């Protein structure tokens, strides 16, 4: 019961923290940097799920875990991607824009792609996924909190400036709690499958980082934009993935669908942090 209430509330606060760090002008940057923004949005919404799908054709996982990988892949970028982009010397304004736009789009894209993934990996005989119900739930626990955070920042800029760091720290703690709870709840399954699930997720992360940077440079974007798009692809909203898994399963607690998101919530930082500096060095010398 505690998990059933605490999980969506924790995600709602994490999404509120995302909105709290945004301004309405951040959405207007799509028009100011259209090529980079459109590429980032397309790669995040379609490119990440495509990479995950292709990897799952090569690496065989139990259907529930394969479906869990797809749930993770269709989620938007993580809330820490903006910080990592800044540390790596990427275009922070673009990162903020992509995080904001793709997070709001996810209320439409995630339910549809999750429904399709369930059909592909769980089979036609499984319980039908209620796409509409997932969309409504996601709107309540993702879109509404983001908009509330945006609105509070707009109405009380000074208050937001004073408390943004605190809100972000609380959100980080809640994220860690969600990941730990997901792993603890499914510990036996985690131990049984980490041998092949872990390498797949690490490989997916590395491929996404290289792909984001490579395609950005291929179409003539600068290295800073490439770093940003690369990180936005590699860092997923694992907390949302765990929550969506629970919405799909429609059972109490955290289901096994959530294991890939929980594992990725840890490994993505172990891969992305050194990876982004390595990519910057390689492409700077190219």
- State whether residue 236 is helix, strand or coil: strand
Count of beta carbons in the 10 Å neighbourhood of residue 176: 13
Buried b (16+ CB within 10 A) or exposed e, 87-110: ebebbbbbbbbbbbbbbbebbebb
Q: How many residues does the chain have?
A: 286
Which value, in Å, is the radius of gyration of the alpha carbons in the chain?
18
First to last CA, the chain: 54
pLDDT in tens, 169-186: 888 888 888 888 877 877
pLDDT in tens, 187-209: 887 787 788 899 999 999 999 99
Structure tokens at 3: 């998990």
Residue 75 near residue 15, CB atoms below 8 Å: no
The CATH code that applies to domain 2-277 is: 1.20.1530.20
pLDDT in tens, 10-66: 888 888 888 887 777 777 766 777 889 999 999 999 999 999 999 999 998 999 999
Q: Is the pTM of this model over 0.85?
A: yes
Instruction: Please tell me the least confidently modeled range out of 155-159, 243-247, 279-283.
Output: 279-283
Furthest-apart CA pair in the chain: how many Å? Answer: 54
Plot region of 220 (φ>0 → left; ψ -120 to 50 → alpha; else → beta): left
Q: Is the pLDDT of residue 70 over 90?
A: yes
How far is the C-alpha of 111 from the C-alpha of 13, rounded, in Å? 21
Q: Would you list the domain boundaries of the chain?
A: 2-277
Separation in Å, CA 196 to CA 22, 54, 258, 275: 38, 16, 16, 21
Instruction: Please tell me the least confidently modeled range out of 78-82, 87-91, 215-219, 237-241.
Output: 78-82
- State whether residue 1 is helix, strand or coil: coil
Displacement of CA 99 from its chain's centroid (Å): 9
């Amino acid at each position: 019961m505690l998990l059933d209430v605490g999980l969506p509330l924790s995600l709602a606060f994490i999404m509120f923290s995302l909105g709290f760090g945004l301004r309405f002008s951040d959405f207007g940057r799509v028009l100011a940097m259209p090529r980079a923004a459109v590429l980032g949005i397309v790669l995040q919404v379609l490119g990440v799920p495509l990479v995950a799908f292709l990897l799952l054709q090569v690496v065989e996982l139990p259907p529930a875990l394969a479906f869990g990988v797809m749930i993770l892949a269709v989620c938007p970028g993580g809330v820490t991607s903006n910080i990592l982009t800044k540390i790596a010397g990427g275009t922070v304004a673009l990162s903020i824009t992509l995080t904001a736009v793709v997070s709001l789009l996810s209320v439409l894209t995630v339910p549809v792609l999750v429904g399709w993934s369930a059909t592909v990996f769980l089979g036609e005989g499984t319980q039908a996924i209620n796409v509409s119900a997932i969309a409504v739930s996601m709107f309540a626990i993702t879109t509404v909190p983001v908009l509330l955070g945006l609105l509070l920042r707009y109405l009380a800029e000074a208050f937001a400036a004073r408390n943004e760091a605190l809100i972000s720290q609380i959100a980080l703690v809640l994220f860690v709690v969600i990941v730990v709870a997901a792993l603890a709840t499914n510990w036996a399954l985690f131990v049984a499958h980490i041998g092949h699930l872990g390498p797949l997720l690490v490989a997916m992360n590395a491929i996404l980082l290289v792909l984001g940077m490579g395609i950005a440079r291929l179409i003539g974007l600068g290295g800073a934009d490439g770093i940003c798009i690369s990180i936005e692809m590699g860092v997923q909203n694992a907390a949302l993935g765990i929550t969506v898994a629970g919405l799909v399963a429609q059972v109490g607690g955290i289901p096994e669908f959530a294991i890939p998101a929980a594992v990725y919530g840890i490994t993505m930082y172990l891969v992305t942090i050194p990876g982004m500096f390595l990519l910057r060095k390689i492409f700077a010398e190219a």
